[in-house]
Amino acid sequence: MQKITQIPARIKIAHEIKAAILSGQLAPLTELVQEKLAEMLGVSRTPVREAFQLLEKDGFIDLVNSKKAIVRRFDASDVAEHYDLRALLEGQVAFKATQNHMNTTILEELLLEMDQLAGTSEFIEKNQAFHQAIWEASQCIKHVEFIHHLWNRIPAEFVSISKSAQLQANQEHKAIVQAIKNHDEVQANEMMQRHILRTKQDYLKRLEQTKPF
């Protein structure tokens, strides 16, 4: 057995910055300065510089010079590719979950909760729980690994939290659940893909509205 080791500082720092980018706390084009971040986090500049290199490799920031970076602005092509991949993968996962005779009890409970939480940030957490339940029921390990990766690739700041948008999303969830209950894997696939591709259009519209002139 290998010795248990602490997580390197560069990994922790990269995780914190990435989380702030994905949550919208660090907006696109925000300047990140090594010295300021090192002071704020109580570390030397070296792990911050190494964290910058990791984040640049993953496409979250662009390095300006050896000491500064800016948060990358995701463009429409990034977003479109992200959602197109998700639609294909999650559609297949819904297909497999239906073939596996998924018990829909947890999904139906989440549907009720999301109806009550529409228009709040808590809806987003329940939405992810809904999708994750289907992932797990599919038993498609490799698919799910890649879907997890995709879910943590674009900022949530352009995901609508309006009540009407979330109620629409939940109506789409209900169509997915009905297809699973009917043991109609083709319909489950189609409804999941339609749901994610409609979400893509909503995200792109909000992204366009915030585009700098």
- Is residue 210 predicted with pLDDT exceeding 80? no
Q: Give 103-153 pLDDT, tens digit per residue.
A: 999 999 999 999 999 988 889 899 999 999 999 999 999 999 999 988 878
Instruction: Name the average pLDDT for the chain.
Output: 90
d(CA 51, CA 137): 35
Residue 73's pLDDT is 83
| pLDDT tier, 82 (very low <50, low <70, confident <90, very high otherwise) | very high
Residue 2's pLDDT is 52
For residue 182, give the H/E element and its range.
none
- Is residue 51 predicted with pLDDT exceeding 60? yes
Show contacts of 84-88: CB within 8 Å, 24+ apart.
84/197, 84/200, 85/150, 86/147, 86/150, 86/151, 86/196, 87/192, 87/193, 87/196, 87/197, 87/200, 88/193
Residue 1's pLDDT is 47
Q: Give 180-190 pLDDT, tens digit per residue.
A: 999 999 999 99
Q: Structure pTM? A: 0.78
| pLDDT tier, 211 (very low <50, low <70, confident <90, very high otherwise) | low
- C-alpha 151, offset from chain centre: 3
Give the mean model confidence (pLDDT) for residues 193-206. Answer: 92
- Is residue 4 predicted with pLDDT exceeding 70? no
d(CA 128, CA 110): 10
Q: Give 169-181 pLDDT, tens digit per residue.
A: 999 999 999 999 9
Give the mean model confidence (pLDDT) for residues 150-170. Answer: 81
- Is residue 81 predicted with pLDDT exceeding 90? yes
For residue 146, give the H/E element and its range.
helix 141-151
Q: If you average pLDDT over each of 18-22, 69-73, 166-170, which comes out highest?
A: 166-170
